Structure 1
């Protein structure tokens, strides 16, 4: 599988934003038209888009659902995969997105609070449709928009959710997320080596070198946000860079 660079389209209050460390009010980017942003990334070569309803993640209410629906409708026509997270708290929430045409739903808090939901969705829609988000701070899992910490490690939870039927994992290192100071590959590498399903990395990418470092962990891809939005590199440049490195 080729290492994939996946642009993030994070939404809060109907706008496309980038937060520092996931903290509301810390926006470093705020753009009025998430659909236009999504289509711009597609135009630059994105094969997958990473959509996050931050209102859903933080407050539990998927306020940006109408915008997500528009993006899915536009992108599914041209063969672009969509993965969606943020505020998916129930089987019904996830099923409605998958029936809409979303390729993968990303379960974070809901999976950790109700692990059986992962198995239920995998049984109903297939393993490949279910991604579990493992967001870690100081080596421990965080939930509820990164406001609460659990006692479990990413490796423990990764192995558990693989056994329950998750088709992939999204691993975010909160310690580096949004700081634009580079990545720490060790937690990603440890998780990749502990499971047999694909792991997508996230958090802290600020240069093309960071992409190379994460590719070498064995991760299947990386979600990139702030570095693209602040012009550290272009999506086209990132796709070319990972294509030509081993």
Structure 2
């Protein structure tokens, strides 16, 4: 099975940023021109890009929609898959992105608050077009830009959304996200073993060894942000390290 390395392009206020544990104002990276950055990742070997409108995730308004549209149109021509999250709150939001050429829409808060939305999108476009984001803090699901904690666990929600038609899950361990202190593979492995759909891991990657650890959990891939932007390793090295041999 191919383990996919997916660069993150998180956007806030029109810039490409990396936050510490999703907290606004904690930027450790703030770069202009997300389109140029996206195209650079593609040039370096990325087959999928992970785009997040952080303004949408935190405030509920997709302020970076036009930038995302430019990225999708430019990268689609190169055969790159694009997954987009942040502020997708309705069926209409999802339709607009999928018709634009986005490969997968990522539903977080909207899926938790309106689970039937997952089923509706899956029925209309196919389950491969729907990814549900399960963000976990202290073993519980967090929503609304990680500002509210729910009682449910990732395993409980993963099984539920698989039944509702989600084609994949994006699991972010908030406890390690953005800290650059390494990964905790245990919760990822628990989720992978609890569902039959692909699980993409995220949160805490700071070394090439972390990638190997996550690959061994059975995850289908990993989203990487801060480690790439701060030069801990290159995308080329990450792809080579995780290639099946």
Normalising by structure 2, we get a TM-score of: 0.99
Contact 2:62 / 2:87 at 8 angstroms: preserved in 1? yes
1:172 alignment partner in structure 2: 172
Question: Secondary structure, in 3 states, of the residue corresponding to 1:51?
Answer: strand
Q: 1:188 Cα deviation (Å)? A: 0.1
d(CA) in 2 for partners of 1:106, 1:221: 15
The 5 A counterparts of 1:84-163 are 84-163=84-163
d(CA) in 1 for partners of 2:145, 2:217: 26
d(CA) in 2 for partners of 1:241, 1:158: 28
Question: Secondary structure, in 3 states, of the residue corresponding to 1:8?
Answer: strand
Deviation readout 1:88-111 (Å, 9 max, x if unpaired): 000000110000000000000000
2:9 alignment partner in structure 1: 9
Q: 1:244 Cα deviation (Å)? A: 4.9
Are 1:33 and 2:33 counterparts? yes
d(CA) in 2 for partners of 1:188, 1:82: 23
Question: Secondary structure, in 3 states, of the residue corresponding to 2:24?
Answer: coil
Question: Secondary structure, in 3 states, of the residue corresponding to 1:194?
Answer: coil
2:187 alignment partner in structure 1: 187
d(CA) in 2 for partners of 1:65, 1:43: 23
Q: 1:223 Cα deviation (Å)? A: 0.1
Are 1:201 and 2:193 counterparts? no
Deviation readout 1:117-139 (Å, 9 max, x if unpaired): 00000000000000000000000
Normalising by structure 1, we get a TM-score of: 0.99
Unaligned 5+ segments in structure 1 are: none
1:69 alignment partner in structure 2: 69
Question: Secondary structure, in 3 states, of the residue corresponding to 2:193?
Answer: helix
Contact 2:2 / 2:244 at 8 angstroms: preserved in 1? no
The 5 A counterparts of 1:193-232 are 193-232=193-232
Question: Secondary structure, in 3 states, of the residue corresponding to 1:227?
Answer: helix
d(CA) in 1 for partners of 2:70, 2:90: 22
Aligned Cα RMSD in Å?
0.6
Q: 1:205 Cα deviation (Å)? A: 0.1
Aligned length: 245
d(CA) in 2 for partners of 1:154, 1:95: 26
Deviation readout 1:140-183 (Å, 9 max, x if unpaired): 00000000000000000000000000000000000000000000
d(CA) in 1 for partners of 2:76, 2:43: 14
Which ranges of 4 or more aligned residues in structure 1 deviate by more than 4 Å? none
